[in-house]
């Protein structure tokens, strides 16, 4: 058994070393600050705190109450809203809470299509299906990589969904919520923003401000552009008190029992760090994404959204059909130390053969890379996919590029090793 323990630890250590030497460009991933990371292995991990602050089912929750109060207050300050619930344990769980609170089985809910960038939460085989709601899908403007506003207006007036979701996993440009607000009001729909991908950009004030543009409810993951622990979040502003009451009871007992107290404590730290460093970080995340897009475009890659400057977020999408398709290209890049994902892009019909790859700048920004390094990353893409250099050669160049960028920035305790493995107990005795 001790060998199995050591095998698991060894695999995780090798994983950490591998990522330390890699260029991780997954748009939904990020690195935790040292102060946040420390709380993940605190005693909070061992506890339950069912219920709400000051009204728990178990004894011993006083310090949990203190921390959750701080966490909720920081969330309200960071996002300028009156309601925050930090109990959902992931973005998907937060979405389930919204669906449970604000939609009934059989009802229609507005959303984007998966091939236009929506998350699997919106799919019949995801959270929408679990709640039994009917997706009403918005028409898409492929040129501008965003909703087709006149088409969406017409659709909403015809279908009249009572809940309208705005949010994407391929999130290049702010969504036109302000433009749709009068229509949402006319049909009496609640605007729901899924900020899983762009929460850190909203916190930094560099993307859009959905709670002031026409959405009353926001759900999110807390570990994508917001560089926090893997967790979820619900926010509300300007909503009926009955709506926030329903959201809170959907969070608990609806979709959680334990709300992962260690992650909640880490989240409080990440919110505090976002208040201190979030603007500078978010500005650099976007500047890096734009620089990477431009540099790839200049090297002959088909980066989507060219007319609009490729992106206003942390994400870019590249059509790689001429380089071999999304599956093949992302596999070759990974073998060369560049971690990306294959992604559906508008016009794709098969989820098995996506025509694109998705790239994100959050993690490389978090370790201190700037525009100059984005150009060097684009050169690595070019040498592997256009110039015929081998995977091994490019992997060595990627590791060399990464070597000075392995500490966490934009946080308290900056400069800590970003990919450090915390060896608390040493080797287990053999046997």
Ligand X SMILES: *Cc1c(COP(=O)(O)O)cnc(C)c1O
135 phi and psi angles, rounded to 5 deg: -70, 135
Would you count residue 229 as binding ligand X (CB under 6 A)?
A: no
Q: Report how many residues bind ligand X under the rule CB under 6 A.
A: 15
Q: How far is the CB of 198 from ligand X (least distance, A)?
A: 9
Among 61, 95, 115, 206, binds ligand X (CB under 6 A): 95
Tell me the C-alpha distance between 122 and 134, whole Å.
Answer: 9
Each residue 102-131 as x (binds ligand X by CB under 6 A) or -, in order, gives: -----------------x-x----------
Each residue 8-47 as x (binds ligand X by CB under 6 A) or -, in order, gives: --------------------x-------------------
Alpha carbon distances (Å) from 68 to 194, 247, 258:
22, 17, 13
Instruction: Considering only CA atoms, give the Rg of the chain.
Output: 22
Of 146 and 169, nearer to ligand X (C-beta) is 169
Segment lying near ligand X (by CB under 6 A), choices 164-172, 330-338, 372-380, 418-426: 164-172
Q: How far is the CB of 241 from ligand X (least distance, A)?
A: 26
Of 356 and 368, nearer to ligand X (C-beta) is 356
Tell me the C-alpha distance between 269 and 35, whole Å.
Answer: 7
Ordered alpha helix ranges (H), 218-370: 241-249, 261-298, 326-335, 362-366
Of 86 and 397, nearer to ligand X (C-beta) is 86
Segment lying near ligand X (by CB under 6 A), choices 161-169, 245-253, 270-278, 348-356: 161-169
Among 34, 91, 278, 356, binds ligand X (CB under 6 A): 91
- What burial class does residue 12 get, using C-beta atoms within 10 Å of its C-beta: 0-12 exposed, 13-18 middle, 19+ buried? exposed
Would you count residue 204 as binding ligand X (CB under 6 A)?
A: no
Q: Which two tokens stand for residue 238?
A: 């300007």
Q: How far is the CB of 395 from ligand X (least distance, A)?
A: 28
Q: How far is the CB of 194 from ligand X (least distance, A)?
A: 4
Would you count residue 169 as binding ligand X (CB under 6 A)?
A: yes
Q: How far is the CB of 224 from ligand X (least distance, A)?
A: 6
Of 220 and 395, nearer to ligand X (C-beta) is 220
Tell me the C-alpha distance between 33 and 320, whole Å.
Answer: 34
Tell me the C-alpha distance between 4 and 156, whole Å.
Answer: 55
Each residue 46-85 as x (binds ligand X by CB under 6 A) or -, in order, gives: ----------------------------------------
Would you count residue 227 as binding ligand X (CB under 6 A)?
A: no
Q: Which two tokens stand for residue 146?
A: 């965003």
Segment lying near ligand X (by CB under 6 A), choices 49-57, 163-171, 309-317, 329-337: 163-171
Q: Do residues 25 and 363 lie in contact, with contact meaning Cβ atoms separated by under 8 Å?
A: yes
Would you count residue 341 as binding ligand X (CB under 6 A)?
A: no
Task: Mention every residue, 6+ apart, whose C-beta is less than 8 A from residue 266.
Answer: 32, 36, 37, 39, 40, 228, 229, 231
**Strand, coil or helix: what is 69?**
helix
Would you count residue 196 as binding ligand X (CB under 6 A)?
A: yes
Give the angle subtended at the CA of 247 by the CAs of 76 and 177, to the nearest 5°: 70
Alpha carbon distances (Å) from 213 to 176, 241, 291:
9, 19, 28
Q: Among 371, 376, 231, 265, which residue's Cα sits nearest to residue 35?
A: 265
Of 193 and 381, nearer to ligand X (C-beta) is 193
Of 229 and 325, nearer to ligand X (C-beta) is 229
Tell me the C-alpha distance between 176 and 181, whole Å.
Answer: 9
Residue showing the smallest CB distance to ligand X in the complex: 91
Segment lying near ligand X (by CB under 6 A), choices 55-63, 91-99, 183-191, 423-431: 91-99
Task: Mention every residue, 6+ apart, whose C-beta is less than 8 A from residue 63.
Answer: none
Among 92, 152, 274, 294, binds ligand X (CB under 6 A): 92
Q: Do residues 310 and 297 lie in contact, with contact meaning Cβ atoms separated by under 8 Å?
A: yes
Ordered alpha helix ranges (H), 299-370: 326-335, 362-366
Residues lying near ligand X in the complex (CB under 6 A) are found at 28, 90-92, 95, 119, 121, 167-169, 194, 196-197, 221, 232
């Amino acid at each position: 058994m001790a060998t199995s323990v050591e095998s698991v630890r060894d695999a995780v250590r090798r994983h950490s070393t591998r990522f330390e030497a890699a260029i991780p460009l997954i748009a939904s991933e990020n690195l935790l600050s040292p102060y946040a990371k420390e709380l993940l292995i605190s005693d909070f991990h061992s506890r339950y705190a069912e219920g709400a602050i000051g009204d728990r089912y178990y004894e011993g929750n006083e310090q949990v109450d203190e921390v959750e109060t701080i966490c909720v207050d920081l969330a309200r300050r960071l996002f300028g809203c009156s309601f925050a619930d930090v109990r959902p344990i992931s973005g998907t769980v937060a979405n389930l809470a919204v669906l449970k609170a604000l939609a009934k089985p059989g009802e229609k809910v507005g959303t984007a299509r998966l091939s236009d960038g929506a998350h699997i939460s919106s799919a019949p085989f995801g959270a929408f299906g679990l709640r039994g709601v009917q997706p009403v899908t918005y028409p898409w403007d492929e040129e501008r990589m965003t909703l087709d506003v006149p088409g969406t207006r017409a659709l909403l007036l015809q279908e009249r969904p009572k809940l309208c979701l705005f949010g994407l996993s391929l999130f290049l440009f702010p969504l036109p919520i302000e433009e749709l607000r009068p229509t949402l009001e006319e049909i009496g729909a609640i605007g729901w923003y899924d900020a899983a991908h762009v929460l850190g950009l909203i916190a930094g004030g560099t993307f859009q401000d959905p709670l002031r543009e026409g959405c009353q409810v926001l759900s999110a993951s807390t570990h994508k552009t917001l560089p926090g622990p893997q967790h979820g979040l619900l926010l509300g502003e300007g909503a009926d008190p009955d709506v926030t009451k329903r959201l809170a009871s959907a969070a608990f007992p609806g979709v959680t029992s334990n709300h992962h107290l260690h992650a909640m404590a880490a989240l409080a730290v990440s919110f505090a760090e976002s208040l201190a460093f979030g603007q500078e970080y978010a500005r650099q995340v976007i500047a890096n994404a734009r620089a990477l897009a431009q540099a790839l475009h200049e090297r002959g890659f088909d980066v989507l959204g060219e007319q609009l400057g490729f992106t206003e977020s942390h994400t870019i999408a590249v059509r790689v059909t001429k380089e071999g398709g999304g599956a093949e290209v992302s596999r070759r890049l990974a073998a060369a130390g560049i971690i990306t994902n294959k992604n559906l892009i508008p016009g794709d019909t098969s989820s098995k053969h996506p025509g694109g790859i998705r790239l994100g700048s959050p993690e490389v920004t978090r370790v201190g890379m700037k525009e100059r390094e984005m150009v060097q990353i684009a050169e690595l893409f070019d040498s592997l996919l256009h110039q015929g250099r081998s995977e091994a050669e490019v992997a060595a160049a990627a590791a060399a590029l990464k070597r000075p960028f392995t500490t966490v920035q934009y946080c308290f305790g900056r400069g800590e090793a970003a990919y450090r493995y915390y060896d608390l107990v040493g080797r287990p005795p053999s046997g």
